[in-house]
C-alpha cells in the first residue's frame, strides 16, 4: 500500500516515527495502523532520505491537525503538498479492499491458507509466481479458475498480509515411503 518493505514499516514503528496501535487477534499480537499512520508511512517513503527522523515525526504529528491538501510547519515556513500521497493511498486502499473481497481463509480449505474465493488456489502462491516473473497469460492458462483481477491483486494482498513464521512442514516429511521399487534404465521404454 505504501510501497515500503515490511522491514521498513516495522522499523518506522519500532523507532516510533510512525504511530501504531497494538492489539491481539486470534492469540497473535498485532500492530494496527489507522489512516493517519498509513499516510505517515506513505510520506516516510518520500521523506526518509531527505529529513532526519525528528523532523519526520513533527510532520507526522502535524498530519492530525492539517488541512486535507497541505501540512504547514515552522510557522508557515514549510508546506508539504499531500494531494498526491493521499491519492496514491486511496487507490491502494481500494485495491486492497477488492483483494480482501476476493480472498477467503477457512480452516476447512487448504488448512486455513488464504485462497481465492470459489477456488483452492493459494493467494501467496500466485503472488510468488508473479514476483518470480510469471506472465499473466501463463498463470491464467495454468489456473483456469483465476481471473485477470485475481492475478493483479494477489501481490497486493500478499504484501498487506505476509505469511508469518516458518514454512509448514509437509505431513509426509518424516515418514517412510509406502512402496519402493527399482528398475534398470534399460528396461524403461522411451515414449
- For residue 178, being part of any structural domain is answered with no
What DSSP string runs through 140-190? HHH-TT--HHHHHHHHHHHHHSPPPSSPPPPTTTTSPPS------GGGSPP
Residue 127 shares a structural domain with residue 73: no
Residue 89 shares a structural domain with residue 147: yes
Q: Taking the chain, what is the end-to-end CA distance rounded to the nearest angstrom?
A: 50
Residue 10 shares a structural domain with residue 70: yes
| H or E element at residue 29 | strand 28-32
- For residue 146, being part of any structural domain is answered with yes
Per residue in 55-93, pLDDT (tens digit) is 878 888 777 777 777 777 777 777 888 888 889 889 999
Residue 68 shares a structural domain with residue 101: no
Would you state the cell numbers that stand for residue 35, as one nine-digit string? Answer: 489512516
Residue 44 shares a structural domain with residue 8: yes
Determine the structural domain holding residue 103 and report its residue range.
83-161
Give the total number of structural domains in the chain. 2
Please indicate, yes or no, whether the overall pTM of this predicted structure exceeds 0.75. Answer: no
Domain-terminating residue out of 23, 50, 81:
81
Amino acid at each position: 500500500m505504501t510501497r515500503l518493505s515490511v522491514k521498513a514499516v516495522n522499523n518506522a514503528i519500532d523507532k516510533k516515527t510512525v504511530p501504531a496501535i497494538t492489539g491481539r487477534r486470534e492469540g497473535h499480537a498485532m500492530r494496527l495502523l489507522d489512516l493517519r499512520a498509513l499516510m505517515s508511512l506513505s510520506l516516510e517513503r518520500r521523506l526518509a532520505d531527505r529529513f532526519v527522523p525528528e523532523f519526520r515525526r513533527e510532520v507526522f504529528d502535524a498530519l492530525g491537525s492539517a488541512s486535507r491538501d497541505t501540512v504547514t510547519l515552522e510557522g508557515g515556513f514549510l508546506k508539504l503538498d499531500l494531494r498526491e500521497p493521499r491519492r496514491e493511498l486511496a487507490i491502494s486502499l481500494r485495491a486492497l479492499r477488492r483483494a480482501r473481497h476476493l480472498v477467503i481463509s477457512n480452516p476447512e480449505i487448504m488448512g486455513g491458507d488464504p485462497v481465492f474465493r470459489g477456488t483452492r488456489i493459494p493467494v501467496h502462491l500466485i503472488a510468488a509466481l508473479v514476483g518470480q516473473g510469471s506472465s499473466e497469460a501463463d498463470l491464467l492458462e495454468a489456473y483456469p479458475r483465476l481471473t485477470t483481477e485475481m492475478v493483479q491483486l494477489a501481490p497486493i494482498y500478499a504484501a498487506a498480509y505476509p505469511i508469518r513464521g516458518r514454512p509448514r512442514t509437509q505431513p509426509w516429511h518424516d515418514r517412510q515411503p509406502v512402496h519402493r521399487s527399482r528398475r534398470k534404465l534399460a528396461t524403461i521404454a522411451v515414449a
